[in-house]
Structure formats: structure tokens, C-alpha cells
Structure 1
């Protein structure tokens, strides 16, 4: 059979949950098209059960990931950037179809996304010094504040910036020791699902990032109301959906990150606000004085 007459093997896209690639438990799929309306793929239409399974996987992974050293997390994130660099042509192709960009514009966006991932990898062992430190107190005590990860973060990924925006919301969450459940762009989910393949073949433990494709309105509600989700990123939610999810999130006092002016342009300097958005501050008091033989302060 000649090369020109053979049929191409179509790619099967699946969810990425707990380090594995399941289909939606509902068996549902929906069609994804490019900006011209040309069919690209069928992708899973995630259900509420898929969302709950992703939260279970994220919670299971949280202890080990948050307990890893910041330096180790930085090494793992840098490894992800290496893997992205090696597959940049594939992602440029995905982004070009998803967002209607030229090949050169899509390639530039992928390069920016890789650079963004490296940038956040470098922050893992530095953010503690920026937002933590010693506090002045009146008395014979040390008073030290240190940042700790919030926990499981549910993310509504940007709808338009399907790769650079996606990286910009995921990387800071996991760089600071949190785990994530991500609802990919409904219109352009392919870059997010392909990112799951990269994460699975990097050193990132399964469950640290979980990627769901489908309708944000259908998946956001159970995640916002879930008692084991600690925080919510509403970057990709429209005003009405964001209001609905924020009300649901108040039930167990979730942290909520609302879209701001900086989220309108993901090519701009991201700053540190996403790194600090899902950190809790722990303050410890310790008496001052000389140390005894046991190392205890007196």
C-alpha cells in the first residue's frame, strides 16, 4: 500500500486523572472543531463523577507533593519544561488549530508557555523568602511566618488562551505545593489534554494535576461545592458562572481567585500574585534564650 493511500491513525483523546488516562465514566464525547468549523477530534465530555474522581486523586497526591522539598518541586517542574520543549512542534500545531493562529504565532506562544513554566519552576524555593520571614515582637520570642500550600485547587482554565493561559494558571498552583483539578477550555481542550500526556511522562507524581474536558458550567458546580476542594480559580469562568461558583465555594470557605486585569493578557509579566493566591501563612512563636544540651531553648 502506498503512503498516499493509507488511512491515518486518528488520535484518541482521554482525560488525565490520577496519573492515568480514563475515558469519561459517562461514555459521552463531544466534537471539537477549529476556528473554521473543521472537525478536529472527539474528546470526553466529563461528568460530575469524573470531577469527584479527580478530587480524590488530587487529595491523595497532596501529602507527598506538599511534603516534598521546594527544590525538588522545582526540579520536577523544570523536567516538565524539558518535555514541553521536546514536543513544541506538536503543541504549536495544536495551538494553531485551536486559536486560528499562523504557524509562527502559535510557535511563539508555545515558546512563551515553556518559558513561563521555567519561570515558575525557579520560584519554588524562593517564594518562601519573599512572603515569609521573622516578625518583630515585644518580648523574648522569635515569631516566624512561613507559607504553606492551601490544598486541592479547582481551576477553570482560560477559554481563549488554550495553552499559554493554561500553563499560566497550572504552574503557580503546583509550584507552591498544591494539587490541581483543571477544567480545560471547552472550545479548545486539545492542548490541555496533550499537556496531560507530557505530565504523565515527566517526574510529576500522578494526581498532582488532573485534567478534565467538558462544560465548565457542568463541572464547576460540583467542584465549587465539594467539601474536599480548598480553593477555586475562576479565571476561565464568565461573569454569571463565576458568581454562581463563588457562592457555592463560600459553603466551606474556599479561597477564590477572581480574574483580574493581568489575566486579560497572558503574554505580560505574570508577577507573583498567582504564586501567593493559594498559600496560607503559618506563624510560629518560639522562646529565645540559650540552648541546653538537648537543643531546647530556655
Structure 2
């Protein structure tokens, strides 16, 4: 696809527009298909090109997420919290860049949006070693046994990021997935992917292991069905699916291997509101063990 360029002031040459890549397994590969598409600002100005992910890219992302799941889920909750806090630190260091990108992508009070995204990483980092205490339990049973229930991560989760909030909405849906030990394959906001791609650069230079988060850009209607039907994906968050018919098709495809599905809300979500713990629990599975008491 040809790219648009603008003259560099006073130099007599044309600026080179960046073509962003995907983020898979901690690396930034080009799309297997070699395709890209133009990304424009909220005002219609050309900004850059983004990779147009294919079915093969989605499969590669799932493979990377599955490969990273064992180590990430086995990490201590405290360590996962440290890593999420490091992401917040890195995002804070690039705050000005994110404000520019959010302003171009969605307008509004970009500074407030970026600050809220940074604060969300910190907030979820604090929950890393507390969610088990809140949702785990020692159950009373009749007999000389300990009966203990503990939440565990479900596995690989596919996430269709919110379209209307490409940074804050993404953080608000991604952070609760990975803080509990899951790994993720994210479909970025289709028309506003730049904040998500820059966030991937932050993740790549933080302490997050490669493959824990994998980011695809492109057409949701083209890529999401492959995630929904993939037998090695264990959960699906449809936060960014705006077409009810597509949402129904994805949910039906997800039923083949009994994926846990978070449906898109019927009303717009206020991503600045108190998030609560409602997005951490859908991708947790409660495991219960019995142990005899000593005599």
C-alpha cells in the first residue's frame, strides 16, 4: 500500500512514515501476509501504516501465548505485581508521547486518559497478591479434612480491545487478564491502533516475559473468528466487538472448547470509573483440594 508523506520543514525532502509491526512472542515481526493499512487521526489526517494481521499471525500469537503461560502462571503473585508496576513506570516515562497519540486518536482530555491508564497498571499490580485471598477459601466440611479452594488462571485469553478507548480501554481489559497469570492475544482497536502499538513497545522494554502479551493490528471481523475458534484459546473478552451479529458468531465459535466468554456490554463503559474486580474473576478457575488433618 503506498504511504503518504509530508515535506520536512526547511529540508526539501519528504518525511518517511513509519509502518508499525505486530508484537508476538516479545518480538516485532511483520505480518505474514505482508499487508498493511493506513491509520488516520480523529480529524482524518494520515499518521502511519499498521500491519494487517492474518490467520497465520493469529495462530503464531496463540502459540507464543501458550508457550509463555507455564512460566508466567507459575511466577509468584508478588513478582507479577512488580512487573505490572514496572509497566506503569515505563508508561509514565513516555507520558508525553502517549498524550500526543491519544489526542490524535480520540481527542478529549488526553492527559487525563493517559494518567488513568498509568494508575490502572498500578492498581492492578496491587491486586496481584490479594485476589487469591479474596476469592480463595477454606471450606467447612464434615470430617477430619482441610478443604481449600483457590483461584487459578484459565490459560490463553483472546481480547478484542475497546474501539472507542484505544489506550485506557485496552489497559482496563488487558491488565486484569495478565495479573492473575493468564497470557493474552490482543486485537488492537481497528481504526486507532497507535496507542496500543506504543504500549507494546513499553511492554517489550519492561520486565514482562515475551509471549505474555501478543498484539495484533488489523480487521477485527477478519482475525477475531480465528481466535474464537482456536482450540488452544481458553477465554475470550469481546469488549471491543460493536457488531451484535459478529459477537454472537464469536460466542458460538468459542463454545466448541467451552471458552470462558466476557460479552460486550449493552451500554457504553466508563473506563475512567472504579474498575472493581469484575474483569479479573471471569478468567479464573477455582480449584479445590482435600487434605487430611493430622491426628
TM-score (norm 2): 0.94
Q: Is the 8 A contact 1:34 1:100 kept in 2?
A: no
SS in 2 for 1:22: coil
The structure 2 residue matched to 1:183, chosen from 183, 187, 190, is 187
Distance 1:227 1:275, change over 3 A: same
Which residue pairs with 1:118 in the alignment?
Answer: 122
Q: What is the correspondence of 1:83-232 to structure 2 with a 5 Å cutoff?
A: 83-101=90-108, 105-232=109-236
Which residue pairs with 1:266 in the alignment?
Answer: 271
SS in 2 for 1:273: coil
Distance 1:247 1:261, change over 3 A: closer
Task: Extract unaligned runs of 5+ from structure 1.
Answer: 291-298
1:263, distance to aligned residue in structure 2 (A): 5.9
- Cα shift readout 1:3-59 (whole Å, capped 9, x = no counterpart): 732654533311000000011010001111111211111110100000000000000
Q: What is the correspondence of 1:43-54 to structure 2 with a 5 Å cutoff?
A: 43-54=50-61
Paired residue total: 286
SS in 1 for 2:190: coil
The structure 1 residue matched to 2:67, chosen from 48, 57, 60, is 60
1:257 equivalent in alignment to 2:262:
yes
Q: What is the correspondence of 1:22-61 to structure 2 with a 5 Å cutoff?
A: 22-61=29-68
Which residue pairs with 1:81 in the alignment?
Answer: 88
Moved over 2 A (4+): 6-12, 259-263
Task: Extract unaligned runs of 5+ from structure 2.
Answer: 1-7
SS in 2 for 1:264: coil
Which residue pairs with 1:295 in the alignment?
Answer: none
CA distance in 1, matches of 2:33, 2:64: 18
CA distance in 1, matches of 2:14, 2:38: 20
CA distance in 2, matches of 1:178, 1:16: 17
Which residue pairs with 2:293 in the alignment?
Answer: 288
Root mean square deviation of aligned Cα: 1.4
Which residue pairs with 1:242 in the alignment?
Answer: 247
TM-score (norm 1): 0.93
1:138, distance to aligned residue in structure 2 (A): 1.1
1:278 equivalent in alignment to 2:283:
yes
